[in-house]
Chains A and B, each alone.
Chain A
Amino acid sequence: MNKLSNKITIFLLILIITKGVSFGLLWFLPKKPMTIHSSQNHYVKYRRVDFSGMLEYEKSSSTIATQTTNITEIILKGLYGKDDKGFVIVAMRSNPNKTSIVAVGEDFMGYTLKTIFINKVVFYKDGSEYILQFEKSKDFSTMVTQQPAPMAPKTISREKIKYFSTNPNEIWKNISIQEVKEDGMIKGFRVNKINKESIFSQLGLIKGDLIIKANNVRLSSYRDVFNIYENMDKLDTIQIVVLRNDTEVELVYEIN
Chain B
Amino acid sequence: MKKLVWFFIYITFFILSLIYFAPKENIFYFAQKQLYRQGIAISTEVCNDGGFNLDIKDADILYSSIKFATIKDLDIFTLLIYNKIDAQNISLSPSVKNFIPANIRQLTITYHIFNPLKITIEGFGRIGKIDGYYSILQNKVHIFLQPSNFMKKNYQTSLRRLKKDQQGRLYYEQTLK
**Interface residues, chain A, CB within 8 Å of chain B?**
7, 10-11, 14-15, 17-19, 21-22, 25-26, 29-34, 36, 39, 165-169, 172, 221-223, 226-227, 229-230
Q: Chain B residues near A229 (CB, 8 Å)? A: 95
Interface membership of B17, Cβ < 8 A: yes
CB of B30 within 8 Å of the partner chain = yes
Chain A residues near B47: list those with CB within 8 A.
33
Which residues of B15-65 have CB atoms within 8 Å of chain A's CB atoms? Answer: 17-18, 20-23, 26-30, 32-33, 36, 41, 43-44, 47, 62, 64-65
The reply to whether A33 and B32 contact each other, CB–CB distance below 8 Å, is: yes
A166 to B94, CA, bound (A): 9
Given known contacts A18-B18, A34-B29, A222 and B93 CB-to-CB distance under 8 angstroms: no
Closest residue of chain A to B6 (Cβ to Cβ) is A7
Given contacts A33-B32, A223-B64, 15 further A-B contacts (CB under 8 A): A11-B10, A18-B18, A21-B18, A25-B22, A25-B26, A29-B27, A29-B29, A33-B28, A33-B44, A34-B29, A39-B65, A168-B99, A172-B157, A226-B66, A227-B66
Majority DSSP secondary structure for residues of A touching B: helix
Distance in Å from the Cβ of A142 to the closest Cβ of chain B? 49
Q: How many of chain B's residues have a CB under 8 angstroms from any CB in A? A: 33
Tell me whether B98 and A230 are in contact (CB under 8 A).
no
Can you identify 8 A-B contacts, CB atoms within 8 angstroms? Answer: A18-B18, A18-B20, A19-B21, A22-B23, A25-B22, A30-B33, A34-B36, A226-B66
CA distance A86 to B45 in the complex (A): 50
Interchain CA distance A223-B29 in the complex, whole Å: 23
| CB-CB under 8 A for A167 and B64, given A14-B17, A34-B32 | no
B14 beta carbon closer than 8 Å to chain A: yes
Would A222 and B64 be within 8 Å (CB), given that A14-B14, A22-B23, A34-B41 are in contact?
yes
Could you tell me which B residues sit within 8 Å of A by CB distance?
A: 6, 10, 13-14, 17-18, 20-23, 26-30, 32-33, 36, 41, 43-44, 47, 62, 64-67, 93-95, 98-99, 157
In the bound complex, residues from chain B placing their C-beta under 8 Å from that of A222 are: 64, 66
**Contact with B17, one of A15, A167, A169, A221 (Cβ below 8 angstroms):** A15
Smallest CB separation, A228 vs chain B (Å): 10
Across the interface, name the chain B residue whose C-beta is closest to A7. Answer: B6
Whether B13 and A36, one on each chain, are in contact in the complex, defined by CB atoms closer than 8 angstroms, is: no
Could you tell me the distance in whole angstroms from the C-beta of B39 to the nearest C-beta in chain A? Answer: 9
Cα-based distance from A18 to B15 in the complex (angstroms): 8
**CB distance B18 to A30 under 8 Å?**
no
Chain A residues positioned under 8 Å from B98 (CB to CB): 165-169
CB distance from B28 to the nearest CB of A (A): 8
Instruction: Please give, as numbers and ranges, the residues of chain A lying within 8 Å of B17 by CB-CB distance.
Output: 14-15, 18-19
Query: Shortest CB–CB separation between residue A81 and chain B, in angstroms?
Result: 36
A172 to B99, CA, bound (A): 12
A4 to chain B, nearest CB (A): 12
A10–B10 contact, CB under 8 A? yes
Determine if B13 and A14 form an interchain contact, defined as CB atoms under 8 angstroms apart. yes
